[in-house]
Structure 1
Amino acid sequence: MKRVLIIAYYWPPAGGPGVQRWLQFVNYLPNFNIQPIVYVPDNPSYPILDETLQSKITDVEVLKQPISEPYRFANFFSKKDTASISSGLIPKEKKQSLVQKFLLFVRGNFFIPDARKSWVKPSVCYLKEYLNNNPVNAIITTGPPHSLHLIGKQLKEHMDVTWLADFRDPWTTIGYHKKLKLMPWAKRKHLVLEASVLNTADHIITTSFTTKKEFEALTEKPISVITNGYNASDFKLITKVALDAKFTLAHIGSLLSDRNPQVLWQTLQELIEEHKDFSEAFQLKLAGKVSEDLLSTIQSYNLKNHINLLGYITHESAFKEMKSAQLLLLIEIDSDETKGIIAGKVFEYLLAKRPILAIGPKNWDVSKIINDTTSGKVFHYEEKDILKHYIFSAFQDYKNGMLHINSTNIEQFSRKQLTQQLSEVILKVTT
């Protein structure tokens, strides 16, 4: 059995999508003759917690070392602003307070590549000793935070190890980079670090086709796409969930300030004003962190009385909400930089088998997944007329008890099948 050391930041009790990918890989890897060892921080400052995920951990060796988190000190200025920034909820420039602007400038220019950079040096020291006494066949780093890739890079440079770098999100092309108020020298440093990681790792893994294409322009190292996915066994007890009596359009997960399709809010406002029965039946359900900017925008379209804010809910509760929704809403920022973003919830949306209404940029990677699985409809931001027609048509189907989908080929995104793909990459790299 091959041994693989996985270096991660997000691990239970962390909540949110960042923890799901490697929690599931770790649980399934032994089925493919690979023994995982997990290295995570001992005292992290996770922006959200989900204690229920602790029960999902199988019998695995977990190594922990302390981490110094600057967000703890930033709380001195503003606990609310610090929590918002650390979870990715960055307000628009014109609505940022002086404290927020200061925190973003410090985060962007003095913590490169990110606020967990101080964990790199002590982790390298600890892991060098551990690996000398407990050899492994490969190490895998997963980011963000991308500072963890620097741990892998330094171990690779000082030891005879095989290293795979897993990018759950892009590095320098990710949307929020523009909001970090980077000085020119800071931008250059990010690019240099990104290139050094891509050209030092033995193999690179991305979660999207667009990110793979971007990285291929920066390195000749082999790159594999292994998307996120769903784990049906997590929800095996959730069988029969009644559909909402209301015509519910549900979004599960964080909604950032720029993830704000005003074309949708305007469309819903028009349908409410034009059709009394739609107004009486419609509900916009939002589960997860929602930026104040975005909520204010939604309310400006006279949707306040139709919003149901659930806040952050557990993973299991989130899936129940997916199963009960009439339509599942998926939103991505309208930007070339977001074409390669495939939110983890996409795959649990597929498993929930409710129609997906997705709004995002042109040539979005998600379009391929939704179209290939016949699981819903994808719209661009300027397609207001056909979006309105689709929603009203879905409403008519809802009234007639006919709102459903017949999705196909979703099994390719099961966590077990994806872990098999990962195991094949590991075996190839280590042989």
Structure 2
Amino acid sequence: MKVLIISNYFYPVNKIGALRINAFAKYFHLAGHSVTVLTEGEKDECVQWGGCQVHYVKDPVMTDAYLWRSISERKRWLPRRIAASLLRRVFLDEKRIWQVKAFKKARELFRQNVFDVVLSSFFPLAPHLIAMKLRNSGFRFYWIADMRDEMSKSPFISSNYAMRLKLHERKIVCRADLVTSVSKPILDDFRSLGCHDGFLEVRNGYDYEEVHDVNFQTCFTMAYTGSFYGSIKPDNWFKAFSELISEGMLPPDSVIKIVGNYSNLNVPQSILANVVLLKPVPHEEALRISIMETDVLVMVHPLGRKGVYSGKLFDYLATNKPILALCDTDDVIAELLKYTGAGFVACESDIGDIKRAIIKCYLLWKNKEVLPRNWDRISQNSRRSQTQILIDYLSAQNILM
């Protein structure tokens, strides 16, 4: 079976969205299928990656490396970023020019090969629009629209943008043969469009060997990997931490490590010496820090946005370090931690609740105890297992032969 994956994010991009697509390509290939990837790169080239043929198409407006250099240097109003912003306003997608180039390459690939399956990913919008245009051009294939998170219901876009985006959303969901996303609540929103019954939950996951050995730091250390953005902020975590230190409930040399954050943080004066800010690192190094240099792994997910696990939750899951999730205690994150026994949950807006959860983590460190996990249930959330859910579904539909 020949599979074409279309995504702006793929190796070597250091993002959760790229890791998801990497896994699809890797495990489809290991299952015996021919995989071609059409993605965005720093130059136009074709390379081999893990047994897959990867076609990189450069965005003439702004490459990913240029964007992240601009962000890290706090340079917002640069000509290329302004051009991308204008494209987003006009076409709902800053990758519009890339989309035109990538569609030409996709059409060329189809004329060289007959792909049985096309998997397109969101965000941005371009990959889905390329797949739809291939359909409109007469090419026949089974189309998987991988939404990952929300589309028009994303909390990070304006109401006007969401209204315009919903027109595309309905077309994509109704024309795709299968719609995938990371959780049932998000899939239910797509299913409400009432087009068909082809919906499948395929979560993000971890892609490393489960860690059963445990090391403890000399100072009690909590860590967060990734950037804070939008309404995702560490303010309540910082406040709870500072209060526990001032009350003598935590040792004064306790540490918080923030790995790879780009945004400005409001760190209370009383814990400035306790908060260590580390620059962005490759994913493998972030995992090493999580496993070797921390005692507790923290994730923050504000109330009001249902059905979002956050990719870092799965990155944390098999480290054998307790997870402290500041989130909605009635949503999917809490359900997963309860199911796997991998950590503690506290209401993100409740300082007292956060303090109680931190103390539970601290006592584990103090007593050199390991939180018992259900490893069989954890293994269900590896990227291999999650990709297998999709492979099994396609096989049952007689798509993958």
Q: Normalising by structure 1, what TM-score?
A: 0.82
Is the 2:300–2:348 contact (alpha carbons within 8 Å) kept by the matching residues of 1?
no
What's the CA shift string for 1:384-406, capped at 9, x where partnerless? 32321222233233222225333
- Mapping of 1:204-283 within 5 angstroms? 204-221=179-196, 222-233=198-209, 242-275=215-248, 278-283=250-255
Report how far residue 215 of structure 1 moved: 0.5
Q: Quote the residue 1:92 is aligned against.
A: none
For residues 256-310 of structure 1, the C-alpha deviation after alignment (integer angstroms, 9 at most, x for no partner) is 25212433222111111110x7242310011112411xx1x2x236221101111
- Could you tell me which amino acid in structure 2 is paired with residue 310 of structure 1? L
Residue aligning to 1:133: 112
Following superposition, the deviation at residue 28 of structure 1 comes to 1.6
Counting matched residue pairs gives 391
Distance 2:214 2:100 in 1: 49
1:65 aligned residue: 57
**Contact 1:142 / 1:168 at 8 angstroms: preserved in 2?**
yes
Asked if the contact 2:42/2:63 (under 8 Å) is kept, the reply is: no
Q: Secondary structure at the match of 1:167?
A: strand
In structure 2, the residue matched to 1:306 is: 274
Question: Are residues 1:332 and 2:301 paired?
Answer: yes
Q: Tell me: CA distance 1:187–1:19, structure 2 relative to 1, closer, same or farther (3 Å).
A: closer
The alignment status of 1:288 with 2:260, answered yes or no, reads yes
Q: 3-state SS of the aligned residue for 1:303?
A: helix
Residue in 2 that maps onto 1:149: 128
Q: Relative to structure 1, is the Cα distance of residues 388 and 107 closer, same or farther in structure 2, using a 3 angstrom cutoff?
A: farther
Is the CA contact (8 Å cut-off) linking 2:41 and 2:63 kept in structure 1?
no
CA distance in 2, matches of 1:343, 1:17: 9
Greater displacement, 392-401 / 308-317: 392-401
Contact 1:261 1:381 in 2 (8 A): no
1:418 is matched with which residue?
386
- What residue number does 2:324 align with? 357
For 1:366-381, list aligned pairs within 5 A.
366-381=333-348
2:157 alignment partner, SS class? helix
Instruction: Kindly indicate whether the alpha-carbon contact (under 8 Å) linking 2:216 and 2:368 is maintained by their aligned counterparts in 1.
Output: no
CA distance, structure 1, for counterparts of residue 225 and residue 166 of structure 2: 33
Aligned to 1:50: none
Describe how 1:158-169 pairs up with structure 2 within 5 A: 158=137, 159-169=139-149
In structure 2, give the amino acid aligned to 1:11: F
Q: Is the 8 A contact 2:214 2:320 kept in 1?
A: no
Q: Specify whether residues 403 and 424 from structure 1 end up closer, same or farther in structure 2 by C-alpha distance, changes over 3 A only.
A: closer
When residues 424 and 375 of structure 1 are mapped into structure 2, their CA distance, relative to the original with a 3 A threshold, is same
| 1:44–1:69 contact (8 Å) kept in structure 2 | no
Please give the alpha-carbon distance, in whole angstroms, between the structure 2 residues aligned to 1:64 and 1:115: 18
Q: State the distance in 1 between where 2:334 and 2:32 align.
A: 34
Q: Distance in 1 between matches of 2:37 and 2:111?
A: 16
Structure 1 counterpart of 2:303, one-letter code: D
Structure 1 contact 354–404 (Cα < 8 Å) conserved: yes
Q: Structure 1 counterpart of 2:242, which letter?
A: Q
Contact 1:166 1:205 in 2 (8 A): yes
Q: 1:41 to 1:333 in 2, by over 3 A?
A: same
1:365–1:43 Cα change, 3 Å? same
* Aligned residue among 177, 191, 215 for 2:166: 191
Counterpart CA distance in 1 for 2:291 and 2:107 is: 46
3-state secondary structure, aligned to 2:165: helix
Q: Distance in 1 between matches of 2:72 and 2:239?
A: 32
Q: Distance in 2 between matches of 1:393 and 1:239?
A: 20
Aligned to 1:94: none
SS in structure 2 at match of 1:176 = coil
Letter of the 1:165 partner, please give it. Answer: A
Aligned position for 1:89: none
Q: Give how far 1:71 is off.
A: 6.8
- Whether the aligned pair in 2 keeps the contact of 1:146 and 1:171 (CA below 8 Å) is no
TM-fit CA distance, 1:327 = 1.1
Percent identity (aligned): 21
CA separation in 2, counterparts of 1:280 and 1:215? 48
SS at match of 1:334: coil
Say whether the 8 Å CA contact 1:202–1:429 is kept in structure 2. Answer: no
| 1:334-372 Cα distance to aligned partner (Å, 9 max, x none) | 22xx32222222112111011111012353321221111
User: 2: distance between equivalents of 1:16 and 1:384?
Assistant: 30
CA distance in 2, matches of 1:312, 1:341: 23
1:67 maps to a residue whose letter is D
Provide the rounded CA distance (Å) in 2 between the counterparts of 1:25 and 1:371. Answer: 27
The structural deviation recorded for 1:31 is 3.1
Residue aligned with 2:270, SS: coil
Deviation of the 1:206 alpha carbon: 0.5
Q: Is structure 2 residue 150 aligned with structure 1 residue 170?
A: yes
Q: TM-score normalised to the size of structure 2?
A: 0.87
CA–CA separation in structure 2 for the residues paired with 1:373 and 1:38: 33
User: Structure 2: how far apart are the matches of 1:404 and 1:373?
Assistant: 11
Q: Cα RMSD between the aligned structures?
A: 3.1
- Partners of 1:406 and 1:79 lie apart in 2 by 40
One-letter identity of the residue aligned with 1:420? Q
Q: Deviations over 1:24-58 (max 9, x none)?
A: 2212213323221111124379xxxxxxxx99x31
Which amino acid is the alignment partner of residue 380 of structure 1?
C
Question: Is 1:397 matched up with 2:364?
Answer: yes
SS at match of 1:281: coil
